Structures are given as C-alpha cells and as structure tokens.
Structure 1
C-alpha cells in the first residue's frame, strides 16, 4: 500500500472515483426506473442487491484485467470491418437498453404502466435480471475506461468500492425523486436512449466523448428543476387565491 503515500496516486484515485460516479449515473437511473415498478417493501432490497452486484462484477473484471483486455482483439470480420467481443457486448447492450427504454416510454405515454402496476406483473426476480444485464454492460465500459487512466489495480479497486458506496448512499433518494416526478422520469428515459445509442456507436468503433452526453443531461435536468420550481410556485399562488 506504499502507493497511497504518493501524491500522484491520490490525484489518480480521486479522478478515478469521480469518473466511476459519473459513469454510474446511467446505472442509477436505470435501476430507479426498474425498481419503481416493484412493491414498496422490495424496492430497497432491489437497490442494494443491484448495486452490490455491480460492485462484485467490477471487482471481478478488474481481477481479470488480462482477460478483459484480450476481449478488445478482433474475433469477427465482416467486409473488412473487424469486431471484438468488446464491440459485440457494447452493441448488444446498447440495443437492449434502446429496446427496454423505448418500451418504458411507450407504456408511460399510452398510460398502460398504471394498469400493469395494478396487476403487479413486475417481480423481484425479473427486475434483478434486467439490472444484472445492464450492470454487466456498464461495468464492462467503466472498467475499460478506468484502465485507460491508470495501470494500478489497487487504485482502481478502491475507486470502484468508494464510488459504489457513495451511489448506495444517494441511490434511493435519486430513485424516489425520479419516480415521484413523471417529467423527470421521461427525461431520464430519454437520457438512457442516448446512452444506448452511444453504446451501439462505440461498438461500431465511433468514439463519442461522454462529456458531451453528461453535460446535455445536467443541462436538461437543470432546466427541468426550474420548471418544477415554477409549477410549485404556480400551485402555491393558486391555493392562496382560492
């Protein structure tokens, strides 16, 4: 652990931790939407289980770093276009996310989500399977990004653990806020469509700077916060006039 005595190591650790938290935002949004369909008593368990599985998978991927890097080697060539297992996994994950998110938006717009919730179609097991599938994709992308920043395994493991703990602390509050406000939920789903598209594009060897995507999210969210505040004040004025 002598590496932690070096100032450069702490800078790298803070950078890695911040990056892991930012990259985990899409994971939190997806988990909040999936768990929002579960009975109230199961939601906290689903949150903890989902993020715990994300932590385990990321640490296992870090410990299998040599195998992980090997997944970037071409395994399939189509008309001189080379695809690696990384490309295939990212593209498949992006398609899954696009399909799932589009169906979620369709249910909300058509008003069918309420009918499904009345029948309690969503089960804990089904929700967990969806969370695990996306955890694999997000963990895979997150770890490959971390490898590009440092070659110190200890720093990567610590950053992953710290980031997941921070996400666990704030995940429920974020989830409750997203599920409480329908417009925020639609905004979150739209962001997941953007992430799904980005994963497909990444799988096809077109690099998209993630900073632009997250800036778009935070900008849109800031505007929505102003809208929520405006609507709340309008309701207060209406009550005062009554």
Structure 2
C-alpha cells in the first residue's frame, strides 16, 4: 500500500513498462522469424512456449536480483579491458544473432541451398532451444536495466508481466504479417543483425544509446510501409484494368503534334 501511494513509484512503473515493451520487440521479432519456419500446426504453440519461457526466465531472474547485479562485476581482464559475466553473455548472444540472421538471409536469397545443403529442416525442439537461448540473453539485459531504474522488485515484476502480456497479444499478428510480406522478413533480419552488433558492442564496453537504435528501426519500418502501400496501390490499379500512366516522352510528342 505504501508503494501504491507513492507517485514516484507509479512514474517508475510506467517508464519501466514502456522500456520493457520496447526491449521485448527484439525478442518478439526473433521468435516470429523462428516459429514461421515450423509447420503451421506447430507455430502458435511454439510462440506460446517461447514467450512463456521469457516470462519464467525474467521472473526467475528477478528472484535472484542480488546474483544478477553481481554479473556486472569484472571476472577477468584482457589488454586492460575488464569483462564481466554480463559482457560475455551479451557477446555470445550477439554472435549467435549475427550467425542466425546471416544464415536466414542466405536461405532467403538462395532457397535452393536448403535442399542441397547438409543442414536438416528446423525442428520443434531446435526452435524452442534457439528461442530459449535468446530469451536468456534478452532477459538478463532487461533485468539489469530494470534494476538500474527502480529498487522495488514488485514494480519490476508488474512491468515484466505487462510487457510479456503485450508480447503474447502481438505475437500471432506480427508472425502473420511477417509471413505475408517477404520483404518485411529481410528487414526484420537486418534488425537482428543490428541488434547483434549492438549486443557485441555493449559486451566490449561501447554503450550505444537505445534511442538511436529504435529510431533507425522505426525509420526503416516507415519506409517499408510506404513501399508496401505503393505496391498495394499498383496491384489495385492492375486489378481494375486502369491503363498505365503515359510516359513523359509520349506526352511531349503529343503536345508537339498539337
């Protein structure tokens, strides 16, 4: 009741919920891309399990806040640069994202490589394993950021539950949108490469302001939205049988004859 009566706690909660939702976008994009590679009957179940694991991991990590804070303490030093367990986890997660996004881009550009390559199609267990790995990376980064914003564990838990609930509601629509728009898949994979590079940079101590990252993502998504609108209008014109717009040189010749 004391927390509920404190306006600063409500301000911290609102800020933390927004931050957790924004940070969850990265996680949700990865889950959508991975689950869309599964058979249609398994996709929704895989998304539910992946998001459920994200919630369990984050709530579990909140129960060990003292341990999580210790992950930021240096454990060894290389060439004068100290590395903590958090740094190593971020670097490993970033490298995994780079590898996974590059592999997906290669398969999108050259679909025949899946048939001729040695790799087997992605199975349900493999998809859940990859989602769990990235859930762990994003969860640790999310919880450490939350600890830096407020000291009240109940506030952190409410923010995490609210953010994961938003992820759960947005998972199916986002996955359908990505599946129905192939160019969006490539854009999302580009986002994952950028996020992977940011995780690696953070692991090496180079802080990248999140505002720059999400502004770039929003700008790219806006440009892609305009492209999708243009393609839709072209298809609508073609379906109505409208003649194409006359070329400039044709208009000039007609004007000269007149």
Q: Shorter-chain TM-score category?
A: over 0.9
Give the equivalent residue in structure 1 for 2:194. Answer: 194
CA distance, structure 2, for counterparts of residue 120 and residue 42 of structure 1:
17
Q: What does 1:110-189 align with in structure 2 at a 5 Å threshold?
A: 110-112=110-112, 115=115, 121-189=121-189
Shift of residue 11 of structure 1?
1.3
Contact 1:54 1:132 in 2 (8 A): yes
Equivalent residue of 2:151, what SS? coil
Equivalent residue of 1:2, what SS? coil
Give the equivalent residue in structure 1 for 2:95. Answer: 95
5+ residue gaps, structure 1:
none
Contact 1:58 1:139 in 2 (8 A): yes
C-alpha spacing 1:63/1:113, structure 2 compared with 1 (3 Å): farther
Q: Deviations over 1:92-122 (max 9, x none)?
A: 1100110111000011011237759xx9822
Contact 1:28 1:175 in 2 (8 A): no
C-alpha spacing 1:14/1:112, structure 2 compared with 1 (3 Å): farther
Contact 1:62 1:143 in 2 (8 A): yes
Give the equivalent residue in structure 2 for 1:51. Answer: 51
User: Which structure carries more helix by proportion?
Assistant: 1
Shift of residue 5 of structure 1?
2.3
TM-score (norm 1): 0.95
CA distance, structure 2, for counterparts of residue 72 and residue 99 of structure 1:
25
Name segments (4+ residues, structure 1) moved above 3 Å. Answer: 112-116
Compare 197-206 and 178-187 and name the one that shifted more. Answer: 178-187
Give the equivalent residue in structure 2 for 1:15. Answer: 15
Equivalent residue of 2:4, what SS? helix
Contact 1:21 1:164 in 2 (8 A): yes
Shift of residue 2 of structure 1?
2.8
TM-score (norm 2): 0.90
Give the equivalent residue in structure 1 for 2:218. Answer: 218
5+ residue gaps, structure 2:
243-258
CA distance, structure 1, for counterparts of residue 100 and residue 32 of structure 2:
14
Q: What count of residue pairs does the alignment treat as equivalent?
A: 240
